[in-house]
Amino acid sequence: MKRELLKFLILAILVAILPTLLSGSYLVNVLIFVGIHTMLAVALNLLLGFAGQISLGHAGFFGLGAYASAILTTTYGINPWIAMVAAAVAVSLLAFAIGFPILKLKGHYLAMATLGLGIIFFIVFNEAVELTGGPSGFSGIPNLKIGSITFDNDLKNYGLIWLFTLVTVLLSVNLANSRIGRALRAIHDSEVAARVMGVNARLLKVQIFALSAGISAIAGSLYAHTMGFISPTSFGFNFSIELITMVIIGGLGSIYGSLIGAFILTILPEALRTFQDYDIIIYGIILILMTMFLPGGLVRGIPGLLARLRPADKQEEG
Amino acid sequence: MLEIQAITQLFGGLTALCDVSFTIRQGDITGVIGPNGAGKTTLFNIISGIYRQTSGRILLQGKDITGLPPERLARLGIVRTFQNIELFGQMSVLDNVKVGLHTKSHSGLFSCSFKLPWHLVEERRIAESARRWLDFCGIPDLADQRADSLPFGKGRLLEIARALASEPGIIFMDEPAAGLNSRETQDLASLIRKIRDAGITVVLVEHDMELVMDVCDRILVLSLGEKLAEGTPREIQENTSVIAAYLGEG
Ligand SMILES: Nc1ncnc2c1ncn2[C@@H]1O[C@H](COP(=O)(O)OP(=O)(O)O)[C@@H](O)[C@H]1O
Ligand SMILES: [Mg+2]
């Protein structure tokens, strides 16, 4: 537990000093996205990496949060903070209700069902033009405010979003190392044995699905209020796959891995601007390579890989 | 303590259990024996709530528990181990046993995420109990290993430790000695007695007749889904239809 605290402190310090080392708002802007993506990847990892339940529709929950915030504040003039809380609660409740029937499904069937869910949300974002603005997007979303501080520039937004991201990471690490985290991993390894030991697998899966959707919705609200403009393309199937790739790269069940996965997959497309139209192909290739060579993800896999590359002092099992 | 009343289980056209009735007495070590395919595992699956029987009832201390799901039965003190070991392979040995304490703890999503003080107290208690049960089963030194790295015999012990951690009233073990060498089997026999002496009723499916005759107070014999006989080890050994069933099987 001491080590967990140390890891978290190092991360917090890095987050605090990084913007002072970077010149120009472009890089700070990229780091804002790293933060949002980290929240989403960690949320998905709770479901995918711990409970072992796939969701190919998480971009949809992200979008629901963003649109709920946009509509409540811009169309109905509600305070952005209240809108954010309302969006998170509503999306969690929705996921809870959907979760009961959908999480009875396993493996490929669950993948198909959540894929369908994501597609339905995407269609709604596009077609409910009066509410969402349709394909041309929704603009004029107000910034968040605390007292006289308005979060209207990159540095302030960086602080705001990374505060939320750090809290998400900390709470998720706590959860992972608790009775609930163990029950989730138990479901992952043997659902029948977990149930025999008294874990209400069905309810717990639905709860974690709702929590995961709720965190994604908060990330969506933050995104909407920082950007001021949203459009359906940010919340499509491609983005769901991108989120899964982040989780796999970092390692299933590794919270800090998700952060690293989010970092890599946010920086990479920026660095490889020319490949823009091929991003989904690149994610596909990454997914295949990771599954073949580093199924445990980078964080767990790299030490093992290094050990294999150093045959001279390899240790035999006693 | 546990009454099995006229249990029948059909799988399509196959009758896995046919009108089996039996009473398990509190504090006994009860053996369930019978040739392969007799329906022993099916009976355990029904009692532990994994299968829903075609007909028949199960009473625990006189209360009807027919059709309750496994997680409810666990809270009522019914646990089991599996014929094909079902460990949480990616977790540590200690964490496996901690999952066994799930019913003995209460922190939810919220108090776990925010590490509320009572949750920390509970976690300490869970860790202490889990270590005690590893001690009880004679594997305290394996606590930090990954469960799927354990040799077979130790895996069986871990499964028992995990089940005991929930402090059950009754534990069902499906072929706990399968795959163990003779030394390990002897240790298992004394562990089974130790479990009974701790006040836990034991029911085991087992093919190792020496073990069964040695530790069991009563024995239920199944053959092709039907109850062939029940009685003390001595009565069973002298029962001609039981001998015939086993000889017929080879
Ligand atoms: N889930 C199932 N579906 C269909 N048949 C089953 C199922 N489980 C067990 N059986 C059948 O029921 C019979 C009894 O099996 P089982 O209870 O495993 O026997 P035992 O444990 O005594 O060796 C076997 O013929 C087996 O094939
Ligand atoms: Mg069997």
pLDDT tens digits along A218-254: 999 999 999 999 999 999 999 999 999 999 999 999 9
Quick: pLDDT tens for B1-54: 899 999 899 998 899 999 999 999 999 999 999 998 999 999 999 999 999 989
Quick: pLDDT tens for B107-119: 888 989 998 888 8
Please give the average per-residue pLDDT across B151-171, as a whole number: 95
- Return the H-helix or E-strand segment holding A223: helix A201-227
Contact of B116 with chain A, judged by CB distance below 8 Å, is answered with no
Least confident of A53-67, A178-192, B159-173, B229-243: B229-243
Give the nearest partner residue to B105 out of A179, A195, A207, using CB atoms. Answer: A179
Homologous superfamily of domain range B2-246: P-loop containing nucleotide triphosphate hydrolases (3.40.50.300)
Where are the domains positioned within chain B? 2-246
Question: In whole angstroms, what is the distance from residue A46 CA to residue A113 CA?
Answer: 19
Where are the domains positioned within chain A? 2-278
Between the alpha carbon of residue B89 and those of residues A17, A131, B121, B198, the distances in Å are 40, 49, 27, 28
% of chain A at pLDDT higher than 90 = 69
- pLDDT at position B158 is 96
Contact of B173 with chain A, judged by CB distance below 8 Å, is answered with no
Instruction: Check pocket membership of B40 for ligand 1, CB cut-off 6 A.
Output: yes
Pick the residue from chain B with its C-alpha nearest to A212: B109
The residue of B52, B99, B118, B160 whose CB has the most chain A CBs within 10 angstroms, and thus the best one to mutate to test that interface, is B99
Q: Which overall architecture, per CATH, does domain A2-278 show? A: Orthogonal Bundle (1.10)
- pLDDT at position A309 is 64
Pick the residue from chain A with its C-alpha nearest to B75: A198
The rounded radius of gyration (Å) of the Cα atoms in chain A is: 20
Question: A104 by DSSP, 3-state: which?
Answer: coil
Q: How far is A314 from chain B (nearest CA, A)?
A: 19
Quick: pLDDT tens for B200-213: 999 999 998 889 99
Given a contact cutoff of 8 angstroms between Cβ atoms, the answer to whether B2 and B58 are in contact is yes
Contact of B89 with chain A, judged by CB distance below 8 Å, is answered with yes
- pLDDT at position A299 is 74
Contact B88 A199 (CB under 8 A): no
- pLDDT at position A281 is 79
Instruction: Check pocket membership of B36 for ligand 1, CB cut-off 6 A.
Output: yes
Residue A312 has pLDDT above 80, yes or no: no
A58 Cβ partners below 8 Å, 6+ apart?
A: A40, A43, A44, A114, A118, A212, A213, A216, A240, A243
Phi, psi at B226, each rounded to 5°? -115, 150
Question: In whole angstroms, what is the distance from residue B85 CA to residue B162 CA?
Answer: 12
Mean pLDDT of chain A: 89
Does residue A107 or residue A318 have the better pLDDT?
A107
Residue A25 has pLDDT above 80, yes or no: no
Which residues from B are below 8 Å from A201, CB to CB? 71
Phi, psi at A298, each rounded to 5°? -60, -45
pLDDT confidence tier of residue A318, bands split at 50, 70 and 90: very low
